[in-house]
């Protein structure tokens, strides 16, 4: 009788172990499937992120700078300037036109609530600069032609500009 009880107990324990193994295996496979689905989603998101980064870095607004225009860079270097030094020189020259008691002469509009001053600029190529200006209330943008003279001086000519309405 003792042997039969041990045999039934052994069979019961064996069935319990097989049941637990099957249950754990089923749970493990379900979790593996979830992990695979999440890995696919991460991969898709990574591809989308890479595409957005590539799109942002190749956007047209970034293409219209002297940094991305090889021919304009070569033109400036042929004049004997280092491109970074030239950019600094040009920025200094443009911002030095801001006066404490007068409108900037490169701005095509007179200030209405104060003096018009340049507060931002983008060097487009070896001939053009886009400026942003404001009097504190009104603001606008203008395109300026610049010329590097034979003596190394830089002269400016206003091309076109506009003032945003309030």
For residue 133, give the nearest of 152, 146, 114, 119 by alpha carbon.
119
Give the separation between CA 122 and CA 91, rounded to whole angstroms: 9
Q: Which element (helix H / strand E) includes 4?
A: helix 2-57
The pLDDT value recorded for residue 43 is 92
Q: From CA 102, how far away is CA 106, in angstroms rounded?
A: 12
pLDDT of residue 166: 66
Q: Where are the domains of the chain?
A: 2-58, 64-163
Per the rule left: phi > 0, alpha: psi between -120 and 50, beta: everything else, 162 is beta
CB-facing half-sphere around the CA of 86: CA atoms within 13 A:
25
pLDDT along the chain (166 residues), means of 10: 85 92 93 95 90 71 74 87 89 86 82 86 90 88 90 87 81
144 DSSP β-pair partners: 129, 158
pLDDT score, position 108:
85
């Amino acid at each position: 009788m003792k042997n039969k009880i041990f045999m039934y107990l052994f069979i019961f324990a064996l069935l319990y172990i097989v049941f637990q193994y099957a249950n754990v295996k089923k749970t493990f496979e379900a979790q593996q499937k979830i992990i695979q689905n999440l890995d696919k989603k991460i991969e898709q998101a990574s591809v989308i992120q890479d595409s957005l980064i590539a799109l942002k870095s190749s956007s047209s607004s970034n293409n219209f700078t002297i940094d991305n225009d090889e021919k304009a860079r070569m033109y400036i270097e042929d004049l004997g300037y280092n491109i970074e030094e030239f950019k600094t020189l040009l920025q200094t020259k443009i911002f030095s036109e801001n006066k404490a008691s007068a409108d900037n002469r490169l701005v095509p509009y007179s200030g209405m609530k104060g003096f018009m001053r340049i507060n931002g600029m983008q060097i487009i190529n070896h001939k053009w600069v886009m400026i942003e200006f404001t009097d504190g209330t009104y603001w606008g943008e203008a395109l300026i032609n610049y010329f590097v003279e034979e003596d190394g001086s830089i002269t400016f000519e206003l091309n076109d500009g506009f003032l945003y309405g309030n």
